[in-house]
Amino acid sequence: MASKKIFGIVLAGGEGKRLMPLTADRAKPAVPFGGNYRLIDFALSNLINSGLRQIVVLTQYKSHSLDRHVSQTWSIEGLLGAYVASVPAQQRLGKRWFAGSADAILQSLNLLRDEKPDIVVVVGADHVYRMDFDQMVQAHIESGKSATVAAIRQPISLADQFGVIQTNEDDATLIDAFLEKPKNPVGLADSPDEVLASMGNYVFNADALIDAVLRDGENPASNHDMGGDIIPDFVSRGDCAVYDLNRNDVPGSTERDRYYWRDVGTIDSFYDAHRDLIAALPVFNLYNTSWPIYSQQLNSPPAKFGRDAHGNPGSLIESIVSLGTVSIGSHIERSVVGPWNTLDSGSRVVDSVLFDRIYVGKNSIVNRAILDKDVVIADGAHIGLDAEADRARGFTVTPSGITVVGKGVRVEQ
């Protein structure tokens, strides 16, 4: 890591309404992902792998499972001065909750004043990607600017889904404008069909960040948002640089997954990100041991695949199956199966994502579905085959046809 003192802040207070019902009982960063992980594990793994050792997670919305996960999984005390700490909204500035991501930092300035860092790395908690923040910090220092925004190249046709960065004609590392979901963006000089989209990751000189959130807190017209208010303030003063992810070289990455980044803010994007994991040559490779994604190490037996009473061995095709899961003559295809699931004789799980401790009954079918924890699929029941029937039973079905079953629901035949 750079010789300067670096402090990490993970913004994990988002409500995640677009991921309902998966966020009905938990904060968005605590949503399970990829079998063994939670969404926040990607941000924290990137920071730890980058050399940061003092990290706080600012939480607010339904934070119990997130706080428990951070405390059980991310205990790095014992290293000199090292910690990953979950910090809930403390109402230090009055009896109110966080009014936005910038306000979350404003209400947590005691953390910066206690540690007195030179540089602060601020990241979101709900994106799937790999990134070496040490390289971004070095680029930030070299830029001489007070703020740096991480950006990833996206097709210009998708510009209206992102905060888009417009760079200076003479200096491509300097941000001239920060445009929120523009309708008619200008492509990059070296790639006219692409734009630079903000990744929601920032590096600040600590004193400049403190000054910015203090001033923002006094502005009644502000939405108190990092991307919507704080970054445009730095841009307006010509004091904001951009860091193109193309400059980042993560150990162990391949050409296929080197610049992977996905915002899993909707059910469809969450589902699609799981699809990226299971290909023979995965678009996002969980098996990069040079830059591991850490999570809770479950005290579980291995997954087990057995024949049913009729001698049917079942089958497993292009899928991820987690520890503790038992498959008894079932068929699993193009799916991600979390820990401690039971798939009984003759059941079929296809193009689906299963969280923890789910029972899939005999001769039942799960198709293009996401099942939250403790769901029971009764013997002979079907889910995901008939969108209208699923909606009539009260389940969420996306326009693309993904059926979502909330935590603890029993699906009858």
Going by the annotation, the residues of the binding site are 163, 180-181, 198
264 alpha carbon, distance to own chain's centre: 6
Going by the annotation, the residues of the binding site for alpha-D-glucose 1-phosphate are 163, 180-181, 198
| 3-class secondary structure per residue, the chain | CCCCCEEEEEEECCCCHHHCCCCCCCCHHHCEECCCEECHHHHHHHHHHCCCCEEEEEECCCCHHHHHHHHHHCCCECECCCEEEEEECCCCCCCCCCCCHHHHHHCCHHHHHHHCCCEEEEEECCEEECCCHHHHHHHHHHHCCCEEEEEEEEEHHHHHHCEEEEECCCCCCEEEEEEECCCCCCCECCECCEEEEEEEEEEEEHHHHHHHHHHHHCCCCCCCCHHHHHHHHHHHCCCEEEEEHHHCCCCCCCCCCCCCEEECCCHHHHHHHHHHHHCCCCCCCCCCCCCCCCCCCCCCCCCEEECCCCCCCCEEECCEECCCCEEECCEEECCEECCCCEECCCCEEECCEECCCCEECCCCEEECEEECCCCEECCCCEECCCHHHHHHCCCEECCCCCEEECCCCEECC
296 alpha carbon, distance to own chain's centre: 16
- Pairwise CA distance, residues 207 & 147, whole Å: 11
Rounded to the nearest 10 degrees, the angle between the axes of helix 64-73 and helix 40-49 is 30
